[in-house]
Amino acid sequence: MPGKAKPGKQRNSSAAKKRIKRTGRGAFAHEKAAHNHLLQQKSKKQKRLSGRALKVSGSTKILKRILPN
């Protein structure tokens, strides 16, 4: 249709969708880094604390915009 502009698509952030998940209650969670490789030289405490899922706080407004779906 000439004269009418199409509305733009709302896009997900590719980086955020790989790293951040939504919990069952709607909160955002991500995992800490440093738990993939070179584990032999890391301490038990570092390995234990590194893989734990964390809730993202303070930036929910931004995350809702980045991850609309």
Residues 29 and 21: beta-carbon distance below 8 Å: yes
Residues 31 and 53: beta-carbon distance below 8 Å: yes
Model confidence pLDDT, tens digit, residues 7-28: 888 888 899 888 888 888 888 8
Model confidence pLDDT, tens digit, residues 30-66: 888 888 899 999 999 998 888 777 777 777 888 888 8
> What residues pair up with 31 in beta bridges, in sequence order?
53
Helix (H), strand (E), coil (C) string for the chain: CCCCCCCCCCCCCHHHHHHEEECCCCCEEEECCCCCCCCCCCCHHHHHHHCCEEECCCCHHHHHHHCCC
Instruction: For each of the domains in the chain, give its residue range(s) and CATH number, in order of start.
Output: 16-66 (4.10.410.60)
